[in-house]
Amino acid sequence: MATLRIGNGAGFWGDQLSAPVRLAEQGRLDCLTLEYLAELTMSILALQQAKDPAAGFVTDFPPVVESLTEVLRTSPDLTVVTNAGGMNPQGCAAAISPLLQAAGLGDLPVAVVTGDNLYPRIDTLLAAGETLTHLDDGTDFSTVRSRLAAANAYLGAEPIAQALAAGSRIVITGRVADASLTVGPAMARFGWQPDDWDRLATAAVAGHLIECGAQVTGGMFSEHAPASSLADIGYPIAELDAEGRLVITKPPGTGGEVTVATVAEQLVYEIGDPSAYLTPDVTACFADVRLEQEGPDRVRVTGARGLPRPETLKVSMAYQDGYLAAGTLVLAGPHCVQRAREAAQAVRQRMEQAGFPPAGFQAEVIGAGDLYPGGRETADDPWEVTLRVAVRDPSRETVERFTRELAPLVTSGPPGVTGYTGGRPRPRQVLSFWPATVRRELVTAACEVRPAADWASRP
């Protein structure tokens, strides 16, 4: 009980399906977290739920639960905390119910955390004086109100802690802050209060370090060495104690590495102001954090300080913003860069001639430096490049027209076009991101705990 071991087995929706069960089996965990959500992910889930009200949760989670049933049976103290609920945490609980019942775990307590979905309350919030102005550029919310598709507040750790204190073995949330998946179990285990700022800050640092999965254990590491095997990379574990001491590690014998350098790279990942990392639970100061190599694959983290949490919560909103399609072609042979640019120009001109000028048109010649403009010089004349063309427009008809202009380049474009092995690109609806804030007191989180079997018959 002196040390809480929290391992994170997923850094995004699409991460390794086998990582959670391997981490649970090898990591001697008290809590397994699974962090699936990003702004893009919420938009995808919103589109899915618009088509099917029963959808809207992370579909990777049910097979992960199925793989974890034996570990859950043999490790009665292991808990699982995840934001896989996305837009529909109750639906996610219903989806895992039959899997747990089939494994003889129908009595396993499963909690659902709700309260983040503000979409049905938008007009009420506006009437209460919330402006929902764009957080980055100050644009008025009225410009997108009629096209709004989703609105979710970033909840914090307290409802997670409440669910665990009530005996839940699996906690499913919607949109919560990434680090709160770690802060919640620490609050529940150690009884930390919502104003225990320094300890909460250390837990927030721990959550931030492990939230992206294997990024802190050698994945995407800028100084990667082949000796650090990535095929069996170990996923991270945060060891916390009641005083807020923290070590980052991974299961022994797994690939990757945990060093001061790997931890430092993740520490500064997507944090904005290092002296005021804003979370729903605490304003964490990273400026005085110190990292020390305590042993092989063990880094001690000290110096995190906490300030009172913000008075507002961040809100992630998505609005309908037209349609998009993208496709690729390969061009080979001498002068292929020039020919790729000619091919892209031909697509654009043919669309305009047909009366469908696109609002947005982007062509990238991959292999000619377009993905890294101003970076390292490329070969003067590579012999193969990939042309990627994307079109965006408010009109689906315009984007449809674009999807019919790539294939003709095989015979009516420059020489050397190849690689057209798939069908036409498909238009897809675009949901754009709108960040805002809302007063904390206007958002009420709730958690409901039921036996797994009861979620199958949820209202």
SS3 call for 409:
helix
What pLDDT shows up at residue 380? 67
CB 173 within 8 A of CB 83: yes
Other beta carbons within 10 angstroms of residue 136's beta carbon come to 10
Higher per-residue pLDDT: 380 or 297: 297
Question: How many CB atoms within 10 Å of residue 16?
Answer: 16
All structural domains of the chain, each given as residue ranges with its CATH number in brackets, are: 3-116+154-310 (no CATH), 320-433 (3.30.70)
With cut-offs at 50, 70 and 90, classify the pLDDT of residue 343. very high
Rounded CA gap, 20 and 305, in Å?
31
pLDDT value of residue 226: 79
Residue 10, token pair as written in the block: 């997923």
Strand partners, 239: 5, 247
**Between 197-210 and 260-267, two packed helices, what is the crossing angle to 10 degrees?**
100
Residue 172, phi then psi, degrees to nearest 5: -115, 120
- Say whether pLDDT at 376 is over 70: no
* pLDDT 10s digits, 74-133: 999 999 999 999 999 999 999 999 999 999 999 999 999 999 999 999 999 999 999 999
- How far apart are the C-alpha atoms of 96 and 73, rounded to whole Å? 15
Q: What is the average pLDDT across 349-377? A: 89
Mean pLDDT of the chain: 95
Q: How far apart are CA 283 and CA 436, in angstroms?
A: 18
How far is C-alpha 154 from the geometric centre of its chain's CA atoms? 13
| CA triple 11-69-239, angle to 5 deg | 45
Which amino acid is located at 370 in the chain?
D
Entry pTM:
0.94
Query: For residue 392, what pLDDT is reported?
Result: 98
Using the predicted structure, report yes or no on whether residue 349 has a pLDDT greater than 90.
Answer: yes
Question: Which phi and psi (to 5°) does residue 132 adopt?
Answer: 55, 30
Mean pLDDT of 347-363: 98
Q: Give mean pLDDT, residues 240-263.
A: 96
**pLDDT, tens digit, 9 for 90 and up, residues 425-452:** 999 999 999 999 999 999 999 999 999 9
**What is the mean predicted confidence (pLDDT) over 69-73?**
97
Q: How far apart, in Å, are the Cα atoms of 302 and each of 184, 236, 242?
A: 20, 18, 14
How far is it, in rounded angstroms, from Cα 445 to Cα 117? Answer: 10
More confident residue, 241 or 379: 241
Q: What was the pLDDT predicted at 225?
A: 82
Q: Looking at residue 238, what is its pLDDT?
A: 98
- Please tell me the distance from the alpha carbon of residue 126 to that of residue 73, in angstroms, as a whole number: 47
* Beta strand 290-295 pairing with 31-34: unpaired
pLDDT of amino acid 421: 60
